[in-house]
Chains A and B, each alone.
Chain A
Amino acid sequence: GAGVSQTPSNKVTEKGKYVELRCDPISGHTALYWYRQSLGQGPEFLIYFQGTGAADDSGLPNDRFFAVRPEGSVSTLKIQRTERGDSAVYLCASSSTGGPLYEQYFGPGTRLTVT
């Protein structure tokens, strides 16, 4: 079956612009996670959705970052007024439901470059 997909695979934008990154989770998975992986680092948690609601957004670095999941499937991570420090690979993962006992399946990521 289809895995987690993310679009675009690469995004180059200018400092100050707005970007949207999309995640399509595995069908039927109610839990969805966003992580950010900077060069040479491990993934860093951003936000967790259970269904349509953001159950934990403690990892969002500031109010320029926002994510939605209006119908409980596809999610969009939105970054306003991008900065060069936002350059990273943004990873999405889904699991059948939330909790540490359920495997998270990761997408290939979106590489964001802010020039």
Chain B
Amino acid sequence: AQSVTQLGSHVSVSEGALVLLRCNYSSSVPPYLFWYVQYPNQGLQLLLKYTTGATLVKGINGFEAEFKKSETSFHLTKPSAHMSDAAEYFCAVSYGYNQGGKLIFGQGTELSVKP
């Protein structure tokens, strides 16, 4: 079965420190890959996505992620955390048009940023 694993349900960093949120997927077929962010009492918002082409993708708010096929990973990074980055982050995959674009999500990682 297709699945997404996010290592660490809770990550805490200091303001200004590197943010690294891990995501691995299980599939023999490279999927389309997404990171979503969910702020308290708000809907999910797309941070970035990988479809084809360049494996390093840049998103909003200074986040980026790298698709590594050999490691079946799509880790999310940001060089310097800001207090406003505190939120829940979800990695998701989609397997193409024959599945209509439905998303399979990981369990989420809650990011805390300490002053």
Q: Which A residues lie at the B interface, using CB under 8 A?
A: 3-4, 31, 33, 35, 40-45, 48, 50, 55-56, 59, 91, 93, 95, 98-109
Number of A-B contacts (CB under 8 A): 75
Q: Do residues A55 and B100 form an inter-chain contact, with CB atoms below 8 A?
A: yes
The complex places the Cα of A54 from the Cα of B113 at a distance, in Å, of: 41
Which of A41, A98, A100: most chain B CB closer than 10 A?
A100
Residues of A within 8 A of B9 (CB): 40
Given contacts A40-B107, A98-B97, A99-B97, contact A33 B102 (CB under 8 A): yes
In this complex, the member of B42, B43, B99 whose beta carbon has the largest number of chain A beta carbons within 10 angstroms is B43
Distance to closest chain B CB from A81 (angstroms)? 26
Interchain CB contact (< 8 A) of A104 among B46, B90, B95, B97: B46
Query: Which of A33, A55, A91 is B43 in contact with, Cβ under 8 Å?
Result: A91
A42 and B107 contact, CB distance less than 8 A: yes
